[in-house]
Amino acid sequence: MTAQPPASAPDSVDSEYEDLLGQWSDLESALSALLARPRSVQDFASKLRQCDRWLQDLVAHDIDAALYLMFQLAATSTVGYSAAHALVCATLCHILAQELQLPAPERDSLVRAAFSMNIAMTALQDELAQQREPLTPTQRRAVDEHPRAGMDLLEELGISDDLWLELVAQHHAALPEAPPLAGLPPLERLTRILGAIDRYAAMISPRKSRAGRSATDSVRAIVGQDTQARDEVGLTLVRTVGLCPPGSFVRLDNGETAIVLRRSERANFPLVASVVDARGEPQSTPQLYHTVRGQPRIQSALARSAVTVQLPHRTMVRLGLYAAHRSNTVSG
């Protein structure tokens, strides 16, 4: 595919996003190195906090571009499942922390726990993502023990934030029915958020034993499997990133396949770019659609495995920004 932004795209749009994909890839690689060999890292705690600040800067730069690139990296990661999963979880936890207006210390503990919750089984998690067979008894034991082992390893690495440590130890805990998040003690509140995000990110990510689900199916599974009191995280996720977030694929009611580029002022009516026509042929030039304006509409979400076309992500991000810039200029 050779899509390019229109020749009239402003230079500021073109240059501002030229290196964004590279920055996300670099962050993923840096995180992968930390998680793969934590005992070999000098001042692990400081390095992980640097990854957190890097993440915050990238999301603050453009949340839609962040979501697009994060979801695409999760589906096509080259550094390993564990690091990609950690980055998706940390990014979504950061975005939800902002939406839920969590106090800064809680936000910090939540995001850093998301980065490091599987640190005691990084290699095993990468191995299991490639494994088609059921877990062996030894693998099952390691999976069952990794939350507590992760907490112990983080303490060994110099982490002294008790809430961070307890979150890692409890991130697979089954919580009973509970009141709204705001009425809970910090550990229970953050455990519910982290647990829901962990499940959602695992569902959308492909493994050898199964294809990833669509983002829509994943979030509906989270919202639908809990009691009404525990739906709050999933509902907030829908409200914040949408049923079809940037970076996910959709089927349009005109038969075309599109990728979501940016959210719009109306939830679940995003800006999309058609990349496969109704005959199943790749589009040489993507067709942009503001679904909030009417036709075409989104018919269904698609898993990444259902779309074989390879996309130039830097170009797609720039197309999305250009379309949003132009729309805002027209409406203004």
Counting residues of the chain whose pLDDT is more than 70, the rounded percentage is 82
For the CA atoms of 32, 35, 37, 41, what is the dihedral angle to 10 degrees?
Answer: 100
What pLDDT sits at residue 208?
Answer: 41
Decide if 216 is inside a domain. Answer: yes
Confidence of residue 3 (pLDDT cuts 50, 70, 90): very low
The pair of structure tokens assigned to 234 is 């999933």
* Contacts of 136 by beta carbon, 8 Å cutoff, 6+ apart: none
Q: What is the C-alpha end-to-end distance of the chain, expressed in Å? A: 33
Give tens-digit pLDDT for 172-197: 987 766 678 888 999 999 999 999 89
Confidence of residue 27 (pLDDT cuts 50, 70, 90): very high
Q: Report the C-alpha gap between 93 and 99 in whole angstroms.
A: 10
Give tens-digit pLDDT for 278-330: 999 999 889 999 998 888 999 888 877 788 888 888 888 888 888 877 765 44
What pLDDT sits at residue 71?
Answer: 81
Decide if 6 is inside a domain. Answer: no
Question: What does DSSP say about strands 271-276 and 282-290: parallel, antiparallel, or unpaired?
Answer: antiparallel
Decide if 65 is inside a domain. Answer: yes
CATH assignment of the domain containing 144:
1.10.3210.10
Q: Report the C-alpha gap between 215 and 226 in whole angstroms.
A: 18
The pair of structure tokens assigned to 231 is 């739906």
Decide if 134 is inside a domain. Answer: yes
The pair of structure tokens assigned to 109 is 């503990």
Say if residues 320 and 65 touch (Cβ distance below 8 Å). yes
Say if residues 216 and 115 touch (Cβ distance below 8 Å). no
Burial (CB count within 10 angstroms: exposed 0-12, middle 13-18, buried 19+), residue 6: exposed
CA distances from 306 to 180, 212, 245, 251, 280 (A): 37, 10, 17, 10, 12
What pLDDT sits at residue 98?
Answer: 96
Averaged pLDDT, 107-127: 95
What pLDDT sits at residue 4?
Answer: 41
Burial (CB count within 10 angstroms: exposed 0-12, middle 13-18, buried 19+), residue 305: middle
Statement: residue 204 has pLDDT above 80: no
Confidence of residue 47 (pLDDT cuts 50, 70, 90): very high
Whole-number mean pLDDT of the chain?
83
Decide if 68 is inside a domain. Answer: yes
Say if residues 92 and 241 touch (Cβ distance below 8 Å). yes
Q: Report the C-alpha gap between 276 and 177 in whole angstroms.
A: 44
Say if residues 114 and 197 touch (Cβ distance below 8 Å). yes
What pLDDT sits at residue 311?
Answer: 86
Amino acid type, 157: L
Residue span of the structural domain in which 141 resides = 11-241
Give tens-digit pLDDT for 60-71: 988 999 999 888
Say if residues 227 and 255 touch (Cβ distance below 8 Å). no
What pLDDT sits at residue 304?
Answer: 75
Count how many domains the chain has. Answer: 1
Q: Which of the pair, 49 or 240, is modelled with greater confidence?
A: 49
Decide if 285 is inside a domain. Answer: no
* Contacts of 202 by beta carbon, 8 Å cutoff, 6+ apart: 85
| Entry pTM | 0.86
Decide if 190 is inside a domain. Answer: yes
CA distances from 330 to 69, 265, 323 (A): 27, 15, 11
Averaged pLDDT, 121-146: 89
The residues with which 301 forms a beta bridge, in sequence order, are 250
Determine the number of helices (DSSP H) and then strands (DSSP E) in the chain. 13, 5
* Contacts of 229 by beta carbon, 8 Å cutoff, 6+ apart: 177, 178, 179, 180
Decide if 310 is inside a domain. Answer: no
